[in-house]
């Protein structure tokens, strides 16, 4: 199982959100570049950068910070998500910012096959933001009627191989949602990753038991509830 630290970037600072609510954010004192270096020193071999400004503006916003983190850490894999609603923005992430992988949300589902065709299924993930079993995207118009399970079944038809399930209701709560990912894993060939609420070693043990491909961890690492250097039982690659 792979462990990937997350840096949420808003207005040039690292933050954490509570249940996905940007109004309930908590800011951290150091620069994102410094947190990235801290994680690398602890043994991280990959890192996810979440550009929260880009998510609102639909274009990559914190470009300078992203480039600096990539340049400062050439030996690790940098993943990016936020504002990827067109192939132009996907190209910018890969070609200008030089990230290794991108995660494209359901709101831009139509560009995922194009991105996979150009950059490969191992480098383009589908990010499923959800509230429990219900997909959250602009296309649901807030109704949240699209089921995560149904979407996962459809993704294999557009050549998706990797998905990141992120439960907003778990975000910042330090309690992950296991049920939905276990259902997806048991019924598809997709490689399933989970983010949101992971804060204890026992959470990772449970995830390992259901054969999750990887766990993305943000707040728990930022606040010292978990330390990468202590997670030697898990693959940090």
Q: Within a domain: residue 187?
A: yes
How many structural domains comprise the chain? 1
Q: Within a domain: residue 235?
A: no
Q: Is residue 197 within 8 Å of 165, Cβ to Cβ?
A: no
For residue 46, the domain's CATH number is 3.20.20.70
The residue range of the domain holding 183 is 2-230
| pLDDT value of position 232 | 63
| Strands annotated E in the chain | 2-10, 13-18, 21-27, 46-51, 77-81, 101-105, 124-131, 134-135, 162-167, 191-195, 214-217
pTM across the whole model: 0.91
Query: Could you tell me the mean pLDDT of each successive run of 10 residues in the chain, 237 residues long?
Result: 94 87 87 96 94 81 94 97 93 97 94 98 94 72 66 91 87 72 87 90 88 92 89 61
Q: Within a domain: residue 237?
A: no
Q: Within a domain: residue 80?
A: yes
CA angle 108, 212, 162 (to 5 degrees): 30
């Amino acid at each position: 199982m792979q462990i990937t630290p997350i840096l949420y970037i808003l207005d040039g600072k690292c933050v954490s959100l509570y249940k996905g609510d940007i109004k309930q954010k908590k800011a951290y004192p150091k620069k994102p570049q410094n947190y990235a270096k801290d994680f690398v020193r602890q043994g991280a071999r990959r890192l996810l950068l979440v550009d929260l400004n880009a998510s609102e503006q639909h274009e990559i916003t914190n470009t300078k910070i992203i480039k600096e983190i990539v340049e400062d850490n050439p030996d690790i894999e940098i993943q990016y998500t936020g504002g990827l609603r067109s192939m132009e923005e996907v190209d910018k992430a890969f070609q200008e910012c030089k990230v290794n992988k991108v995660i494209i949300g359901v709101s831009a589902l139509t560009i995922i096959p194009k991105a996979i065709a150009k950059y490969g299924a191992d480098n383009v993930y589908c990010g499923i933001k959800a509230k429990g079993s219900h997909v959250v995207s602009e296309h649901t118009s807030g109704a949240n009627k699209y089921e995560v399970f149904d979407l996962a079944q459809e993704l294999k038809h557009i050549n998706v191989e990797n998905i990141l399930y992120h439960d907003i209701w778990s975000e910042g709560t330090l309690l992950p949602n296991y049920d939905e990912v276990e259902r997806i894993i048991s019924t598809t060939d997709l490689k399933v990753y989970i983010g949101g609420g992971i804060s204890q070693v026992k959470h990772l043990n449970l995830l390992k038991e259901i054969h999750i491909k990887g766990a993305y961890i943000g707040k728990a690492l930022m606040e010292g509830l978990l330390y990468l250097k202590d997670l030697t039982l898990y693959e940090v690659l």
